């Protein structure tokens, strides 16, 4: 699709593959290509689940520091908006998104992984937000998505110190959801994606939107979001098929409509 980011779809699973040697540094071009890939798979009816994968060596080592080093405040004030928008495009994919993490997921790489719904990491993976060691803070969602995932105290620990955590600690604090041998990372992500790929697409999208939007508001508003999503699904063929299959004691055959 792009110079450094490609998309492949097989068995209703889309893989967004980042490949910028050596460690997938996320320069502006890569960020924009990731955002375009996210919008593509979100709109493609053949994609029911999505994997973001950086290859066997590294998920993404972070932003391209050389590219940022010479930027002024005025330049970054403008650039930071599009930086966040590129990552938010991944977070807003209305399908299950799985980050398959090998090697480094640092800085922007960690922030990209935070945009996924699930994170599968290799045993030797290293994650973290080391921006503080450069005299800056995370700028692509790290100060917001990380505390929502692991809690404010642990997020402050990682962001204030800039330290890296290994896969075992990442699992213990909830930063990743599963740890597997390095060579099994992509396979494990595929297996997880397959559990969603044959499901009712509209219902999964509705569930994701209700959860994500509900977390950003009060309970009453969240319940209203849920009610509207719940009611709206009764207009879908999949809902009728699901309930008919239940009464007929058979497996449903969802079509995505």
SS3 14: strand
DSSP string, 170-211: HHHHTS-SEEE-GGGHHHHHHHHHHHHHTS-HHHHHHHHHHH
Q: Which residues are catalytic?
A: 111, 131
**Radius of gyration for the chain, computed over Cα atoms and rounded to the nearest angstrom:** 19
CA distance 3 to 5: 6
Q: What H or E segment, with its residue span, contains residue 161?
A: helix 152-161
Residue with tokens 């997938």: 24
């Amino acid at each position: 699709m792009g110079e450094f980011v490609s998309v492949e779809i097989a068995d209703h699973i889309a893989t967004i593959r980042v490949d910028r040697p050596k460690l997938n540094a996320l320069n502006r071009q890569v960020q924009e290509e990731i955002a375009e890939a996210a919008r593509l798979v979100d709109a493609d009816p053949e994609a029911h689940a999505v994997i973001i994968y950086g290859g066997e060596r590294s998920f993404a080592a972070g932003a391209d520091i050389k590219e940022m080093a010479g930027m002024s405040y005025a330049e970054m004030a403008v650039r930071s908006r599009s930086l966040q928008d590129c990552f938010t495009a991944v977070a807003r994919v209305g399908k299950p998104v799985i980050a398959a993490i090998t090697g480094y997921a640092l800085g922007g790489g960690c922030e990209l992984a935070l945009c996924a719904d699930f994170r599968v990491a290799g045993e030797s993976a290293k994650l973290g937000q080391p921006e503080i060691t450069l005299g800056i803070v995370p700028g692509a969602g790290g100060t917001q998505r990380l505390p929502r995932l692991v809690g404010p105290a642990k997020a402050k620990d990682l962001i204030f110190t800039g330290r890296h955590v290994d896969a075992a600690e990442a699992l213990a604090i909830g930063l990743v959801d599963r740890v597997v041998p390095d060579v099994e990372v992509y396979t494990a992500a595929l297996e997880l994606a397959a559990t969603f790929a044959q499901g009712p697409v509209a219902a999964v999208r509705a569930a994701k939107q209700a959860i994500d939007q509900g977390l950003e508001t009060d309970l009453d508003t969240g319940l209203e979001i849920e009610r509207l999503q719940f009611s709206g699904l009764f207009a879908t063929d999949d809902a009728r098929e699901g309930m008919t299959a239940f009464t007929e004691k058979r497996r449903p055959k969802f079509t995505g409509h």
